[in-house]
């Protein structure tokens, strides 16, 4: 990510959640905060970046639309749109179960413009929230909250950190986080942007600072998709765009090896949901025709005793 600039992918992710909330016939999530938090200048930049990744004939047709309509069309065309919506719903379903078991600490790794603390589901009123993210993105979010007239909710701790160089345990050590109490960690939309070494270091750190029984939910791409460069024009354009804005996809995990890799760092794999499994759980009865990205998985693990 370019120094001094908030993450563009975090902006796009927040807008996708808001767009789904606003336009779906039966929304899986209720999260319209992206419409408020993403500034006009970033919207314009996202439109231009997205258009540049489209074939010329498609780009010419879309450029005739009004800016807001154009942005919505571009967002819904993105191959990660459904996955972003589904992983948000799935992670919060898993969090609700953990809170029902007594968990009262929720750690969001790479929080971006996450709005959980702003919308506070009924089940989470007593949960302490720890948001970890790059200082540039976090400062942008806090500034936008102030500009929108929204104060930071109580029980939320913002911890600026670069997870590529600092571990969650080190960052949480600067906050009131209690490592003796069970916690729930979410780590969504981050692993692809880190090296394999940084990802393993983060997993190992979660295992070290989370009390026994703490849980982690994270998404990842199948490593084989990174080992074999895409051949279709759409995927090539998207990867080139991500590299151009300084946020390239770097690494993933092998689904068949994930259980062993997690065990090596002190975690136990509980679920490893494939795209078809995510579709059956959240999309099979939906009229909105959401389809998770191929080669994209969502895993749930716990800290071993």
d(CA 93, CA 180): 24
Q: In the chain, how long is the greatest CA-to-CA distance? A: 58
The answer to whether the CB of 24 falls within 8 A of the CB of 288 is yes
d(CA 166, CA 163): 5
- Contacting residues for 146 by C-beta, under 8 A, at least 6 apart: none
pLDDT for 297 equals 97
**Best CA proximity match to 197, nearest among 278, 285, 265:** 265
Tens digits of residue pLDDT in 197-236: 999 999 999 999 999 999 999 999 999 888 877 666 666 6
Domains and CATH numbers, the chain: 8-77 (no CATH), 81-303 (3.40.50.150)
Q: Is the pLDDT of residue 241 over 70?
A: no
**Best CA proximity match to 77, nearest among 117, 19, 31, 147:** 19
Which range has the worst mean pLDDT, 90-99, 188-197, 201-210? Answer: 188-197
Q: Is the pLDDT of residue 1 over 90?
A: no
d(CA 262, CA 304): 10
The answer to whether the CB of 179 falls within 8 A of the CB of 207 is no
Q: Is the pLDDT of residue 92 over 80?
A: yes
Which range has the worst mean pLDDT, 84-98, 151-165, 223-237? Answer: 223-237
pLDDT for 253 equals 96
Q: Which residue has the tokens 């068949």?
A: 256
d(CA 46, CA 40): 10
Tens digits of residue pLDDT in 120-141: 899 999 999 999 999 999 999 9
Q: How many CA atoms does the CB half-sphere of 220 hold within 13 Å?
A: 26
Supply the pTM of this predicted model: 0.92
């Amino acid at each position: 990510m370019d120094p001094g600039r908030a993450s563009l992918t975090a902006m796009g992710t927040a807008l996708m959640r808001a767009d789904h909330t606003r336009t779906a016939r039966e929304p899986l999530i209720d999260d319209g905060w992206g419409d408020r938090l993403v500034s006009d200048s970033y919207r314009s930049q996202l439109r231009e970046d997205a258009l540049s990744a489209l074939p010329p004939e498609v780009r010419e047709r879309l450029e005739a639309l009004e800016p807001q309509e154009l942005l919505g069309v571009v967002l819904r065309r993105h191959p990660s749109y459904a996955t972003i919506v589904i992983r948000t719903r799935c992670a919060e379903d898993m969090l609700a179960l953990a809170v029902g078991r007594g968990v009262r600490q929720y750690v969001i790794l790479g929080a971006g413009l996450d709005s959980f603390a702003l919308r506070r589901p009924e089940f989470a009123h007593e949960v302490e929230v720890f948001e970890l993210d790059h200082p540039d993105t976090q400062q942008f979010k806090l500034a936008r909250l102030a500009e929108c007239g929204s104060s930071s909710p109580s029980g939320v701790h913002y911890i600026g950190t670069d997870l590529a160089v600092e571990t969650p345990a080190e960052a949480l050590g600067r906050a009131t986080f209690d490592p003796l109490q069970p916690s729930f960690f979410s780590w969504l939309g981050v692993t692809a942007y880190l090296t394999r070494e940084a990802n393993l270091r983060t997993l190992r750190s979660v295992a070290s600072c989370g009390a026994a029984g703490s849980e982690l939910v994270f998404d990842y791409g199948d490593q084989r998709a990174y080992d074999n460069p895409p051949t279709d024009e759409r995927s090539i354009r998207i990867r080139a765009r991500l590299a151009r804005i300084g946020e390239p996809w770097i690494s993933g995990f092998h689904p068949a090896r994930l259980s062993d890799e997690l065990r090596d760092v002190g975690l136990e794999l509980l679920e490893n949901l494939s795209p078809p499994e995510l579709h059956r759980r959240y999309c099979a009865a939906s009229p909105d025709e959401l389809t998770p990205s191929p080669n994209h998985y969502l895993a749930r693990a716990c800290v071993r005793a």
